[in-house]
């Protein structure tokens, strides 16, 4: 129907009508909040490159989790900073590791909140890579055993979901096998399936102290130029038993989110990473952007692209606005 018969502005005049024809809505229940856990007590150490985010000891983490749950955020995603690092990332799979302790504490105190754990070695290894290093290379198959062990130890501690972010080939199958053998057949895996080698992880690496000590992650994370390859990665993870697939980062990869949504019947998560958060916060602090509006527009855009779950450091800010009916 051409103009002047069809006038799109007819539906835009009234705020009520705009609301009724709105195609996408963001809810607090779409959001997952990432949090950083450290050893100690009473620690709430601000992360300079992520204003508003802190490294939290377990007692402080519990406050944050209670807050999130009371705002209707269903899940947190936990990252740990170990006491010591070594070449094989031992604390990643230690029974009394920081994440294992944190998971137990959160599940004991706030049983209604889903606890998701990031499964990776990079925060725990002295070289800062996501797998085992031999002769200066990150070797795939020897890494799988440690990654599966890490996931199993998280579930032993009570994690509701595990989320492998290492990008080793075959890790979803290795984790599924380890969980099934331990009779955790019901525990889902949320795979970081299309994870790109991105500059937008910069603030996170400061927060988690996980910058690689040599080289970079391009031998295991994806080339930002590739879209079809993302679909192959997702297909592999689905075959290996992934229950939820993830695209990460979100904002520069909305096309990938949309393609994964269209091609697979599985729930899709999108991780709006530390650099996406820092960008909006920084521009907001400088007065260059309306921070609240930019935040909501980005989160809504990620959902419109096809994400069911949006992982974002803005989860509490967004949930607050939604609660107040201001977004």
- State yes or no: is 195 an active-site residue: yes
Distances (CA, A) of 177 to 122, 167, 181, 224, 327: 22, 17, 6, 30, 43
- Given 3-state DSSP classes, what are the helix, strand and coil percentages for the chain, each rounded to the nearest 5? 45, 20, 40
83, 85, 135, 195: the catalytic one is 195
Tokens of 15: 């705020």
Per-residue x/- marks for ligand PBG, 285-324, CB under 6 A?
----------------------------------------
The reply on whether position 196 binds ligand PBG by CB under 6 A is no
CB-based burial of residue 84 (10 Å sphere; 0-12 exposed, 13-18 middle, 19+ buried)?
Answer: exposed
63, 107, 135, 248: the catalytic one is 248
| Residues numbered 248-287 forming contacts with ligand PBG, rule: CB under 6 A | 273-274
Per-residue x/- marks for ligand PBG, 214-233, CB under 6 A?
---x----------------
The reply on whether position 118 binds ligand PBG by CB under 6 A is yes
Of all residues in this chain, which one has the CB nearest to ligand PBG in the complex? 204
Interior CA angle at 136 toward 131 and 139, to 5°?
Answer: 35
Q: Which of 211, 213, 188 is nearest to 199 (CA)?
A: 211
- State yes or no: is 85 an active-site residue: no
Q: How far is the CB of 298 from ligand PBG (least distance, A)?
A: 14
Name 117's bridge partners.
78, 162
Interior CA angle at 312 toward 86 and 281, to 5°?
Answer: 100
Rounded Cα distance, 199 and 253, in Å: 13
Out of 38, 103, 105, 122, the only residue in the binding site for ligand PBG (CB under 6 A) is 122
The reply on whether position 165 binds ligand PBG by CB under 6 A is yes
Q: Count residues near ligand PBG (CB under 6 A).
A: 12
Q: How far is the CB of 35 from ligand PBG (least distance, A)?
A: 11
Q: Which residues are catalytic?
A: 195, 248
Q: Which residues bind ligand PBG (CB under 6 A)?
A: 118, 120, 122, 130, 165, 201, 204-205, 210, 217, 273-274
């Amino acid at each position: 129907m051409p103009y002047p018969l069809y006038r799109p502005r007819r539906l835009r005049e009234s705020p009520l009508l705009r609301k009724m024809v709105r195609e996408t809505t963001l809810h607090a229940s779409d959001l997952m909040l990432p949090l950083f856990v450290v050893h100690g007590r009473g620690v709430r150490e601000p992360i300079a490159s992520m204003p508003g985010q802190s490294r939290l000891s377990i007692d402080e983490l519990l406050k944050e989790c209670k807050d999130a749950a009371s705002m209707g955020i269903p899940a947190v995603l936990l990252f740990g900073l170990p006491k010591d690092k070594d070449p094989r990332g031992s604390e990643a799979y230690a029974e009394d590791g920081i994440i294992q302790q944190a998971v137990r504490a959160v599940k004991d105190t706030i049983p209604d909140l889903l606890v998701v754990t990031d499964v990776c070695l990079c925060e725990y290894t002295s070289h800062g890579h996501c797998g085992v290093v031999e002769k200066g290379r990150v070797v795939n198959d020897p890494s799988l055993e440690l990654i599966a062990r890490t996931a199993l130890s998280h579930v032993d501690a009570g994690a509701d979901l595990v989320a492998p972010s290492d990008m080793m080939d075959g890790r979803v199958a290795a984790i599924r096998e380890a969980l099934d053998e331990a009779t955790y057949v019901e525990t889902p895996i949320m795979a970081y399936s299309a994870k790109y080698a991105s500059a937008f992880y910069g603030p996170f690496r400061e927060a988690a102290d996980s910058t690689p000590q040599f080289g970079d992650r391009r031998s295991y994370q994806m080339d930002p130029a590739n879209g079809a390859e993302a679909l192959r990665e997702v297909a592999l993870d689905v075959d290996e038993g992934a229950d939820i697939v993830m695209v990460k980062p979100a904002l520069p990869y909305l096309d990938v989110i949309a393609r994964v949504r269209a091609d697979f019947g599985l729930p899709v998560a999108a991780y709006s990473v530390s650099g996406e958060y820092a960008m909006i916060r920084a521009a907001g602090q400088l007065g260059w952007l309306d921070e609240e509006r930019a935040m909501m527009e980005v989160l809504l855009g990620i959902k419109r692209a096809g994400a069911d779950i949006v992982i974002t450091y803005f989860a509490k800010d967004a949930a607050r606005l939604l609660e107040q009916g201001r977004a």
